[in-house]
Amino acid sequence: MNPATALATVLVDELVRCGLTDVVLAPGSRSAPLALALHAESRVRLHVRIDERSASYLALGLAKRSERPVALICSSGTATANFHPAVIEAAESGVPLLVLTADRPPELRGTGANQTIDQLKMYGSATRWFAEVGAPEDRPGQVAYWRSLACRAYQRATGPSDPGPVHLNLAFREPLIPDGDTTWCEPLDGGANGPWVRARVAPPPIALHIPPTRRGVLVVGDGAANVRRYVAAAGMAGWPVLSEPNGGARYGDHAVSTYHHLLSTPEFADNHLPDVVVTLGRPGLSRPLLSWLGRAGEHIVVAPDLGRWPDPTRSATQVAQAVEIPVAAGDDSWLHDWRHADRAARAAVDDVLDASGLSEPRLARDLVDALPNGALLFCGSSMPIRDLDQAMRPRRGIRLMASRGASGIDGLVSTAMGAALAHNGPSYALLGDLTFLHDQNGLILGPREPRPDVCFVVVNNDGGGIFSLLPQAAVRDPFERVFGTPHGVDLGYVAAATGTPYTLLPDLSDLPKAMRGEGPRIVEVRTDREENVRVHARLREAAQAAIRAALAA
């Protein structure tokens, strides 16, 4: 057996023994040993994509939804560079990826050899760990090295307290395909008792105990862990829960869905400063919320890994791996005030949306309401997630995700595809038109590839709608070209190019019918950017007026 085939065979086998179930492959020549070993491995589900960037985001979505490492493989050269944005998102959002890049052997580096670049630590600080595997050789000791290396890579990607991407760079000398010889200088198998190296998980950390108080608030942002436990504790303590849609805690009687409007109303925000705020995950959608966090008496950030805690406002007073929220005695006027103002703002928001016709925030609200229990909704990082944050009503029974680690718009079609492939139930995605066009290659599926059941609801306002709500909109002369960026693309033709079923939605009442179907499909919703600005202004004015009236009552 040639060394390239031996390394690929052993590495794939050991990763499977560690628990690997999904692999995404972008085809190439130098990665042939890995591709052939994977094709012969029946214990993994193989996904092949012709575009490395789409492949990397597909793996990101698979790993994000399954919360398990997914292997990502490509050839050498610039193919490896196309993985970098997804590796950054995985690093920032704590998604376990196993990035396996094929490479030329050392003797070809720096010589001008074809498809040869410097791949050593090419993702920099975006990986949790890097290893230059070295060119395989037919000598004793290699199998132990390869198997222990695979175990270390898998466990480091998993975390458990700090999951993220791991990069293995694999230099292969020719021949790259099996030569018909199965002999090797030592046994290639790893035994029958599981992984070569077993990693033991440390016991749960000791929780920080907070003094009992009724004037507390639980804030839940992206990437929060142990959400249900903390929501239950906040309920027992009489705390309101302010959760971003992707935080997973916008449900139940204590969920305050209009917190953005409440905290942008000075009369409410100034008079409702808590004794303590406990933050899970990384909130970042609402500027009023971020400003308000710094005014709390105590701000405790819960971070499973104490080496990486989110605190963009520099307002944290304590950081803990776990927090114990005790039941507090006393009246419930604190919670009552939050809920009373929330109900008033909620009614005002819904009245504006109901009267707005087909608007972007109404689409976000009505889409969530229309989803069946057990559904997954993957949301775009720009306006769609913000529309959900300001318009979504509390509800149970769905899983909502977004790529808010680096909050880019790139690769989201593929990420949604990957998340759908890992989800046990119907999946949906709410994306903007620029986000959709940025990754239209993600719609390309080969005839033998696993097909996700996902409906893409695409908001088409012919450009970058979020900029119309930012200060840049005041610079009228260059705005449309350098910020608005109209494209004029007919999304129906994009869908037709890949054979993806397509529907243009004429009216929001037709949304449930338009979303029906199986496999990848597209529902386009056309809106107007200028009207969207006016709708958001009406929402803000109506919500704040209702909050002030509730406070005066």
Angle between helices 3-18 and 32-39 (to 10 degrees): 50
Q: Establish how many alpha carbons lie within 13 A of residue 142's alpha carbon, considering only the half-sphere containing its beta carbon.
A: 23
Q: Checking phi first, is residue 360 left (phi over 0); if not, alpha (psi -120 to 50) or beta?
A: alpha
Q: What is the pLDDT of residue 200?
A: 77
Rg of the chain taking only CA atoms, in angstroms: 25
Strand partners, 378: 401, 429
Q: What is the pLDDT of residue 190?
A: 87
Q: What percentage of the chain carries pLDDT values higher than 90?
A: 88
What backbone phi and psi angles, to 5 degrees, belong to 32? -55, -40
Mean pLDDT, rounded, for 343-370: 97
Mean pLDDT, rounded, for 151-157: 96
Q: What is the pLDDT of residue 483?
A: 87
Mean pLDDT, rounded, for 231-254: 96
**Class of residue 367 by CB neighbours under 10 A (exposed 0-12, middle 13-18, buried 19+):** buried
Residue type, 524: E
Q: What is the pLDDT of residue 180?
A: 86
- Fold category of 208-337 in CATH: Rossmann fold (3.40.50)
Express each pLDDT in 167-183 by its tens digit.
999 999 999 999 888 89
Mean residue pLDDT of the chain comes to 95
pLDDT at 485 over 90: no
Quick one: which H or E segment has residue 101? Answer: strand 97-103
Distance, CA of 309 to chain centre = 18
Give this prediction's pTM: 0.95
Q: What is the pLDDT of residue 456?
A: 98
Q: Does 528 or 297 have the greater pLDDT score?
A: 528
CATH number for domain 3-171, candidates 3.40.50.970, 1.10.10.10, 3.40.50.620, 3.20.20.70: 3.40.50.970
* DSSP E strands, 241-379: 241-243, 276-280, 299-302, 318-320, 323-324, 375-379
d(CA 95, CA 114): 33
Q: What is the pLDDT of residue 337?
A: 97
pLDDT at 193 over 80: no
Give the single-character DSSP code of 110. Answer: T
Domain 360-526 indexed as CATH 3.40.50.970:
yes
Mean pLDDT, rounded, for 521-539: 95
Express each pLDDT in 39-84 by its tens digit.
999 999 999 999 999 999 999 999 999 999 999 999 999 999 999 9
d(CA 368, CA 366): 5
Torsion angle (degrees, nearest 10) of CA 248, 224, 236, 296 = -110
The reply to whether domains 3-171 and 208-337 share a CATH topology is yes
Q: In what order do the strands lie in the sheet with 70-74?
A: 45-48, 22-25, 70-74, 97-103, 166-171, 129-132
Domain ranges of the chain: 3-171, 208-337, 360-526
Q: What is the pLDDT of residue 251?
A: 97
Express each pLDDT in 83-139 by its tens digit.
999 999 999 999 999 999 999 999 999 999 999 999 999 999 999 999 999 999 999
CA-wise closest residue to 316 among 286, 345, 346, 296? 296
